[in-house]
Amino acid sequence: MMDKDTYEKKLQAQLDQWQAEIEKLQAQAREATADMQGKYQEQIRELREKRDEMETQYRKIHAAGADAWQDFKTGADKAWDDMATAMKSAWSRFG
């Protein structure tokens, strides 16, 4: 079982990676046709919402005590899965 500190580091690293991927999509959107820019922006908006939810879960875990953080892990894991699915969908659509 992963300890709190290790889990937090894992979440933060993944959040950073997802932010970088969102920024790559934004760069692609700027180069896209006007019609495609709308589709990119819709996808980017969804990704940001999911990333924000993941950030919220991360903050709950970070603020939780050593004994209580496990209570928030399920929510963080669900947010992680949702974000990973949305990111895969975005890259299969635009990547």
Residue 15 lies in a domain: no
Domain that holds residue 42: 38-95
**For the segment 84-95, what is each residue's pLDDT rounded down to a tens digit?**
999 999 999 887
Query: What's the domain count of the chain?
Result: 1
Q: How far lies 59's CA from each of 36, 44, 65, 91, 92, in Å?
A: 34, 22, 12, 27, 30
**For the segment 38-70, what is each residue's pLDDT rounded down to a tens digit?**
999 999 999 999 999 999 999 999 999 888 899
Residue 18 lies in a domain: no
* Closest residue by Cα to residue 50 from 17, 94, 18, 82: 82
Model confidence, pTM: 0.86
